[in-house]
Chain A
Amino acid sequence: MRIGIVTFPGSLDDVDAVRAVRIAGGEPLRLWHGDESVHGVDAVILPGGFSYGDYLRCGAIARFSPIMAEIIRLAGPPDAASPGLPVLGICNGFQVLCESHLLPGALVRNDSRTFVCRDQRLRIERTDTVWTNGYAPDEEIVVPLKNGEGGFVADRATLDRLDGEGRVVARYLELNPNGSYRDIAGVSNAAGTVVGLMPHPEHAVEPLFGPDHDAQGRSGSTDGLRFFTSVLQGALSV
């Protein structure tokens, strides 16, 4: 399985996503924002970072990249029942997915007006997606979170629809770090192929390099790894 990871100008966590795919046992392929082709990859990851310096709005300019035109075409509209190209958008990637209208809603500045960097507990609420089928329903995980504009917002009708259709992929537990409505940390399209997630699973895939396991700072958590092994189970591709 080949997983494409896009680099936009200002992407930060693309190399970490490449590493996570490799650790998971997949074959990563780096994709350039100016390229119009995804070169036949089975799935795409839009990584975290600060594409175009977050100028205008986070992800607002990256959303019009040549490669996004192709990804939008292959992924299909968010309410389509039939599956298109699987896409995982992490942090800035989630912002790009919302700006692209591949996912509903938008991400706005944290309500605390601070940049929050913390190990964040999440509940994985939708496990029938390409990216989360390796988790148990309502499993709790801890992965790093680092964002200044991570507040997920949408109108009441959209929020009710996401809740009603089981399209909320992950919710914040213990503490809402950014004011996201209904504690939403991640959402999906109807088919479960496109997932946007604010926290960073790619930073919790290797012992010693993830969230602290105990007070001594020993790290054993690889809670994020299954985002990258799930997709290797056989993506619902075009």
Chain B
Amino acid sequence: MGRVVVDVMPKPEILDPQGKAVAGALARLGFTEFAAARQGKRFELEVAGEVTPEVVARAREAALTLLANPVIEDVVGVAAAPEV
């Protein structure tokens, strides 16, 4: 059984209210060295067999079709999950 990890982040020019909330909370907790934060999403897609290049390509297609909205998000990573 293999897994593909897909990472989605909001586009840099899009306002990210969640990231601002996180940054504010970090500062209040004393983590003042972190000037800003942006929050994205990580998906783990399971396949029955091993993760081949074809599987990764299909995962990228799934990412661009459903997992991310290209108007406001970028797919920043599509890769086989590292073996644990």
Chain A neighbourhood of B21, CB < 8 A: 113
A106 touches B66 (CB 8 A): no
B67 at the interface (CB under 8 A from A): yes
B18 touches A64 (CB 8 A): no
Q: How many A-B residue pairs have CB under 8 A?
A: 38
B interface residues, how many (CB within 8 angstroms): 12
A219 at the interface (CB under 8 A from B): no
Chain B neighbourhood of A162, CB < 8 A: none
A108 touches B72 (CB 8 A): yes
Chain A neighbourhood of B20, CB < 8 A: 113
B69 touches A105 (CB 8 A): no
A interface residues, how many (CB within 8 angstroms): 21
Closest to B43 in A: A56
Chain A neighbourhood of B69, CB < 8 A: 57, 60, 99, 106
B29 at the interface (CB under 8 A from A): no
B14 at the interface (CB under 8 A from A): yes
Chain B neighbourhood of A155, CB < 8 A: 13
A151 at the interface (CB under 8 A from B): yes
Q: Contacts A56-B66, A56-B67, A98-B71 hold; do A110 and B14 have CB atoms under 8 A apart?
A: no
In the bound complex, what is the Cα–Cα distance between A155 and B12 (angstroms)?
12
B54-68 vs A: 1/0 string, CB under 8 Å?
A: 000000000000110
B1-35 vs A: 1/0 string, CB under 8 Å?
A: 00000000000011101101100000000000000
Chain A residues with a Cβ under 8 A of chain B: 56-57, 60-61, 64, 98-99, 104-106, 108-113, 151, 153-155, 179
- 7 A-B pairs with CB atoms under 8 Å apart are A56-B67, A61-B66, A104-B71, A105-B71, A111-B15, A113-B20, A155-B13
- Other A-B contacts than A104-B71, A113-B20, 10 sampled, CB-CB below 8 A, are A60-B69, A99-B69, A106-B72, A108-B15, A112-B17, A113-B21, A151-B15, A153-B71, A153-B72, A154-B71
